[in-house]
Amino acid sequence: ELVNLNEMFNYVLDRFDMVIKDSEKNYVIKREFTQRAIWVDIDTDRMIQVLDNILNNAMKYSPDGGTITCRLLETHKNVVLSISDEGLGIPKQNLGRVFDRFFRVDKARSRAMGGSGLGLAISKESILAHGGNIWAESEENKGSTFFISLPYEPYEEDLWE
Ligand code: ATP
Ligand code: MG
Question: For 69-100, what is each residue's pLDDT tens digit?
Answer: 999 999 888 999 999 999 999 999 999 899 99
- For CA atoms 57, 62, 67, 72, the dihedral sign is negative
Segment 58-67 shows an average pLDDT of 96
- From the CB of residue 25, how many other CB atoms can be counted at a distance below 10 Å? 12
> Could you tell me if 36 and 4 are in contact, meaning their C-beta atoms sit under 8 angstroms apart?
no
Torsion of CA 54, 81, 132, 107, to 10 degrees: -20
Give distance in angstroms: CA of 73 to centre of ligand 1: 24
Question: For 97-149, what is each residue's pLDDT tens digit?
Answer: 999 999 998 876 676 777 788 999 999 999 999 999 999 999 999 999 999 99
Give distance in angstroms: CA of 46 to centre of ligand 1: 18
ipTM of the complex: 0.98
pTM tops 0.80, yes or no: yes
Give distance in angstroms: CA of 95 to centre of ligand 1: 11
pLDDT at 115: 79
Distance of CA 107 to the CA centre of its chain: 22
pLDDT at 160: 58
pLDDT at 116: 85
Please list the alpha-helical segments (H only) found in 91-161: 107-113, 119-129, 156-160
Q: Residues enclosing ligand 1, CB less than 6 A? A: 53, 57-58, 61, 85, 87-88, 90, 98, 103-105, 110, 115-121, 144
The better pLDDT of the pair 155, 149 is held by 149
- From the CB of residue 100, how many other CB atoms can be counted at a distance below 10 Å? 14
With CA atoms as reference, report the closest residue to 118 among 40, 37, 57, 27: 57
Residue in 16, 29, 120, 148 to alter for ligand 1 test, most ligand atoms within 8 A of Cβ: 120
Give distance in angstroms: CA of 121 to centre of ligand 1: 10
